[in-house]
Structure 1
Amino acid sequence: MERSAPTGTILIADDHPLFRQAMAMAAQAVSPDSRIVEAATLDAAIRIAASASDLLLILLDLKMPGATGFSGVAMLHAERPSVPILVVSGADPGAAAEARRFGAVGFIGKDQDLGAIEAAIATALSGGDVALPQPPAGEVDDMARKVATLTPTQLRVLLGVLAGRLNKQIAFDLDITEATVKAHMTAVLAKLGVQNRTQAALAARALGIGVAH
């Protein structure tokens, strides 16, 4: 019989709302009855970690306001040493060993798909160590071909989404209407074969088109 996921609080510490949304989707899929809380700065993450008595897991981006190097891992581990920390970061995968040294149970890149991130979260929640998975052969080439079909304006709209900008802000930046932005984003989703803005961002991130961190 398959074991059900533990229930409690899962903390997502990342300064970019798009990736907090993606991590929340993944965490909720693994542990649907858990409470998901978010922090955009290290100080906020530490406050939540200190106050959440039922904290199950911390999903942490290494590069966020208040953190330098691996200070975020070290400080959160010091605050809650029994709570597993899974680093989900766009940092060099070579940082995985150092992150473990400071208390993380594993490291997974933001360029991994949601399925891989969900598997990593499930492993961390079950008390296991998380290794950095490799993307399936040919997956990046296939997505590269899809991105190559985007028009310049569609690509600019996608980059605006990756920067966390709202449709009305993207419309102002590109001097087009908000309705046109929505139409372009619908076309982007169809061309990339994804269903929402978050999946489009993750797909583009895998190709190195992402948030500058």
Structure 2
Amino acid sequence: MLTILLADDHPMYRDALRGALMLHLDDLNLLETSDLNETVKTLHENDVDLLLFDLHMPGSTDLFGLIHIRKLFPEIPVAVVSGIENVGIVSKVMNTGALGFIPKTTQASEVAKAVASILEGEVWVPEKMPSDVTDFDEAFVELAESVSSLTPAQYKVLCFMRDGLLNKQIAYELDIAVATVKAHVTAVFKKLKINNRTQAVLIASQLQLEPPPSVQAC
């Protein structure tokens, strides 16, 4: 029996995914989660064959959730489902380690075909995407791997640095001591192998990272 986790905060879309998969695929065990923390917990507690993951559910903004999931569960195949469909996002997603990108406008039968292909180890993106959208971008991958080493708190500090906030302002936003912010900044510099805030801003800008609203340490 295949176990697929549907991670999306919209119940109606999860229902649509469930219907599409149950109609076209046999012997399925479907799990559902609605935020990043719940998704991580479910992946820890179950043997999941495929994760269908929404980029923008609670706890995850832009690439953060995918980077975090790929770090914690590198052996679990992930396909991103998203209502935002453009070449830039698809390229970023595929270079972050996803095996597929399924737009939320995809027909039910096509969703099932995509899932079947990904479960067989193939890469799947919509046919209308340019052929080079899945090309390997070594520089991007290296940046994503560096960021994956950050804790959720360090990640948020990096994003706030990108937005130009000073340590006092970051401390206020995160409701922590300035000394704690300084410790996070030092850790970010060390893990990303950089020496200053300017370099940190460049990395966050290149990946187009956005701070998640609330993420617990996992």
Q: TM-score, normalised by structure 1?
A: 0.57
* Contact map agreement 1:105 1:129 (CA 8 A) in 2: yes
**Separation in 2, partners of 1:29, 1:79:** 31
CA RMSD for the aligned pairs? 1.6
Partner of residue 81, structure 1: 74
**Separation in 2, partners of 1:74, 1:30:** 30
Write out aligned runs for 1:95-110 (5 A). 95-110=89-104
> Shift of residue 119 of structure 1?
0.9
* Contact map agreement 1:93 1:132 (CA 8 A) in 2: no
Identity %: 30
Which one of 56, 60, 67 corresponds to residue 49 of structure 2? 56
Partner of residue 27, structure 1: 21
Residue 66 of structure 1 aligns to which amino acid in structure 2?
Answer: G
**Separation in 2, partners of 1:20, 1:103:** 23
* Contact map agreement 1:90 1:110 (CA 8 A) in 2: yes
Residue 56 of structure 1 aligns to which amino acid in structure 2?
Answer: D
- Give the ranges of 4+ consecutive aligned residues of structure 1 lying more than 4 Å apart after TM superposition: none
**Separation in 2, partners of 1:104, 1:87:** 7
**Separation in 1, partners of 2:108, 2:28:** 18
Residue 111 of structure 1 aligns to which amino acid in structure 2?
Answer: T
**Runs (5+) with no aligned partner, structure 2:** 130-218
**Relative contact order, higher structure (CA 8 A, sep 6+):** 2
Partner of residue 68, structure 1: 61
> Shift of residue 30 of structure 1?
4.3
Q: Does 1:9 align with 2:3?
A: yes
Equivalent residues, number: 128
**Runs (5+) with no aligned partner, structure 1:** 1-6, 136-213
Q: TM-score, normalised by structure 2?
A: 0.55
* Contact map agreement 2:83 2:104 (CA 8 A) in 1: yes
**Separation in 1, partners of 2:63, 2:24:** 27
* Contact map agreement 2:25 2:112 (CA 8 A) in 1: no
